[in-house]
Amino acid sequence: MRKKIVAGNWKMNTTVPEGVELAKAVVAGAANVPADVKLIIATPFTHLCPVAEVVKGSVVALSAENCADKEKGAYTGEVSAAMLASTGCQYTILGHSERRQYYGETDAKLVEKVKLALANGLDVILCVGENLEEREAGKHFEVCGNQIKNVLYNFTAEEMAHIVIAYEPVWAIGTGKTATAEQAEEIHAFIRITIADKFGVQVAEDTSILYGGSCKPSNAKELFAQKDIDGGLIGGAALKADDFIAIALSY
Ligand code: PGA
């Protein structure tokens, strides 16, 4: 059975003290969220250790936002999957469109990152999604399908149990423009078929596929009601605990 997940992606926001306060507020609000909705907060690297202390013993899981594509060594400024695991976090986001767009993250690099994350016991939230130009050219199925194939087809059905997919149309991220529930559902259904083609129907049915891109309390309910949408990856609205919890309560 796939999990319902509401994950917050804090991106490069909040100082450490602000992040600790935000995490405390999320943990407090989580008490009202039904047990079958998994809550995850993804914080900057600097916040992982103190936030791990805040979420310890609560239902809120902790995620990083990225990890290195190398195991260890002379890679100044990089943070390895082993380092992440040692902070107590359980997940890492990988392949966010902001990483792909601004930091040259390719599918080939993502294969290395996913391998290292899994090898270090982290679950992965892998982001895919088309940009506006690709959407307008009608290439959204092709782009998302290729991102899934190029990265995830390198893994096994067993490894897929540790991978969550987030469909994030780039044109909807931080723009206030949400994909309609129908637009999102058709891509989610397509992603599930793409997973089924390689790993079989059962693995596809068990894979959680989240929607991300201007998801907020006012639109979450309609999005989450779709058959193939298993929750959300929330950016801006995750910076306010009340909004983040309200989204989780939309399920
Ligand atoms: P947004 O970001 O909710 O602010 O659009 C989502 C994301 O990029 O994960």
Q: Is 74 left (phi over 0), alpha (psi -120 to 50) or beta?
A: beta
| Nearest atom, ligand 1, residue 127 CA | 9
DSSP state of 36: T
Task: Tell me: pLDDT of 177 over 90.
Answer: no
The per-residue pLDDT for 176 is 85
Amino acid residing at 34 = P
The per-residue pLDDT for 11 is 98
How far, in Å, CA of 27 to CA of 23, rounded? 6
Ligand 1 near 214 CB (within 6 A) = yes
CB atoms within 10 A of CB 185: 19
Is residue 211 within 8 A of residue 190, CB to CB? The reply is no
**Predicted TM-score of the model (pTM):** 0.98
Strands (E), 110-234: 123-128, 163-167, 209-212, 231-234
Ligand 1 near 231 CB (within 6 A) = no
Length reported for the chain:
251
Ligand 1 near 9 CB (within 6 A) = yes
The residue with greater pLDDT, 177 or 216, is 216
> Per-residue pLDDT tens for 182-198?
999 999 999 999 999 99
DSSP state of 92: E
Give the sign of the dihedral formed by CA 215, CA 217, CA 218, CA 224. positive
The percentage of residues in the chain with a pLDDT greater than 70, rounded to a whole number, is: 100
Residue 20, Cβ density class (10 Å: 0-12 exposed, 13-18 middle, ≥19 buried): middle
* Mean pLDDT confidence for 74-91: 98
Mean pLDDT of the chain: 97
CA-CA-CA-CA dihedral for 192, 194, 200, 204, to nearest 10? -20
The per-residue pLDDT for 148 is 98
The residues assigned a catalytic role are 96, 168
Task: Tell me: pLDDT of 133 over 90.
Answer: yes
> Per-residue pLDDT tens for 92-129?
999 999 999 999 999 999 999 999 999 999 999 999 99
Give 210-249 as a DSSP string: EEESS--HHHHHHHHTSTT--EEEESGGGGSHHHHHHHHH
> Per-residue pLDDT tens for 20-71?
999 999 999 999 999 999 999 999 999 999 999 999 999 999 999 999 999 9
